[in-house]
Amino acid sequence: AAGMAAPTMEERKACWGARDEFWQCLDSHGDDAAKCEKLRRAFESRCPQTWVKHFDKRRDFLKYKKKLETEGYHPPEADGKS
């Protein structure tokens, strides 16, 4: 297993490829992680653990951002007052 050494270009490509496949799977299954378990495992095995954490956070952020863009921002206190 690789230690803290920086991943080679090949390893980075493998990691990003696995991430993209996993994310595409999530996108096409409405984020049903159970349907994408195999791809999740490939993603985790091909990427350093710190990257997996980073990409998970990034995906949550991108989803949140997209939600804001499509639905707009609704401050909690504005609900019910129009």
Q: Is position 76 within any domain?
A: no
Distance CA 74, CA 82 (A): 12
Position 73 confidence tier, pLDDT thresholds 50, 70, 90: confident
Structural domain tally of the chain? Answer: 1
- Which H or E element spans position 29? none
Q: Is position 29 within any domain?
A: yes
Residue-range definition of the domain harbouring residue 54:
11-68
Position 50 confidence tier, pLDDT thresholds 50, 70, 90: very high
Residues of the chain with pLDDT > 90: what percent?
73
Q: Is position 46 within any domain?
A: yes
Overall pTM surpassing 0.85 (yes/no): no
Q: Is position 61 within any domain?
A: yes
- The per-residue pLDDT for 62 is 93
Q: Is position 39 within any domain?
A: yes
**Residue-wise pLDDT tens digits, 54-71:** 999 999 999 999 999 988
Q: Is position 48 within any domain?
A: yes
